[in-house]
Amino acid sequence: MQQTPLYIVASPHPRVGKTLLARLLLEFFHSEKRQLLGYDLNPHEPTFAGYFPRWVFTVDIADTRGQMELFDRLIADKPVSTVIDLGYGAFEQFFSVLGEIGFANEARRRGVETVVLFVSDRAPATVRAYGALRRRLANVAFVPVHNESVSVSFDKDDFPLSRPELRTISIPRLSPIVRGVVDRPSFSFATYLVKPASGPTEIHDWVATIFNAFRDLELRLMMGRLTSALGGVSLGPPPLPGRTPRG
C-alpha cells in the first residue's frame, strides 16, 4: 500500500529551528505541487500557522478534545503530505498520546507513514529524550536533524538512526542578515526561488541544499518500504548504543 508521509517536527527544547524546518518542509511539498496540510501545536504562539493560514491549523492537544481534533482527523481524512510543528510545550503530551492510542500502527494501516524529524541540540536531556522516544515508539521512523545555527558539532552516536537507509538532515547556518529576511512573516522560500537571482544567492543555495535533503529522505523512505515489501528483510531499528536489541 502506498504510504503518504506524516512529518512531525519535534524537539523537547524551544528555539532550535522547528518552525523553520516545518516551513521548509511545507514549502517543499508545495513546490512539488502536492496536496498538503499542516498543524501548529503551539497554541500560544502559532508562528507556523501564521505563515500558512490557508494550509495550517492550530490545535491545542492539552485536552482530549484537541487530541481528537488532531489525531482523529489524521486517521479519518484522505492521506495528504502533512507536517506537524510540535511545540516544545506539547512534546511529552503529544508522544504520550500517540503511543497510548496506537496511532502509528493505525496510520500505517491507512497508508500514512509517521516520520519524526527530531531537531537535535547538545543538551544531555535532549539526547536522553531521543533515546527514550525511540524505545517507546520502536515502529516509527526517526530522522535526526542537525541545525548548524543551534550547535556547530553533531555527534551521531547521540542520535543514532532508527533505520539503516535513513540519514541525518543538516540545516546549514544562515548569515544573520539573511536569517532576518527569512524570518519575515511574508517571506516564502518557494516564491523566492522562482525569482531571478538579482541579489544574494545564499538563500537559493541554502534552500536547494535542504530541498535536496528532503528529496533524498523521501527516496530513502520509499526504498525502505520497497525493500521491506519485496525481501522481507528486517528493517528493524538498529540497537541503541549500550542496549541489547529488542526481540
Partner 1 sequence: MAKPTIIVVGADKGGVGKTTVSRTLLDYFTAHQVPTRAFDSEAPKGTLKRFHPDITEIVDVTSIPDQMRIFDTLSDASVTVIDVRAGLLSPTLRALRDIGFLDAVKKGQFTFLVFHILGSSIASLNEIEDTSQFTTDAKYFLVKNYFNNTTFFEWDQATHANYFKKLKDAVEITIPKLNEMAYEQVEVASVPFLTFVANKGPKNDAANYSFVLRGYVRHWLGNVWAEYDRIKLNDIISATPANPRVQVVR
Which residues here bind partner 1, judged by CB under 8 A?
64-65, 67-68, 71-72, 75-76, 97, 100-103, 106
Shortest separation between residue 62's beta carbon and partner 1, angstroms = 13
Shortest separation between residue 64's beta carbon and partner 1, angstroms = 4
3-class SS at 57?
A: strand
- What nine digits make up the cell of 237? 531499528
Residue indicated by cell numbers 502533512? 82
Shortest separation between residue 98's beta carbon and partner 1, angstroms = 9
Nearer residue to partner 1 within complex by CB, 52 or 103:
103
Nearer residue to partner 1 within complex by CB, 43 or 99:
99
Shortest separation between residue 124's beta carbon and partner 1, angstroms = 30
d(CA 95, CA 86): 10
Nearer residue to partner 1 within complex by CB, 73 or 179:
73
Residue 95 in contact with residue 71, Cβ under 8 Å? no
CB atoms within 10 A of CB 202: 16
Q: Using alpha carbons, select from 81, 49, 119 the residue that is nearest to residue 215.
A: 81
Residue indicated by cell numbers 521491506? 228
Nearer residue to partner 1 within complex by CB, 63 or 205:
63
Residue indicated by cell numbers 523566492? 192
Shortest separation between residue 246's beta carbon and partner 1, angstroms = 17
Nearer residue to partner 1 within complex by CB, 135 or 173:
135
Cα 64 versus chain centre, distance:
23
Which residues touch 62 (CB under 8 Å, ≥6 apart)? 43, 90, 93
119 strand-pairing partners: 145
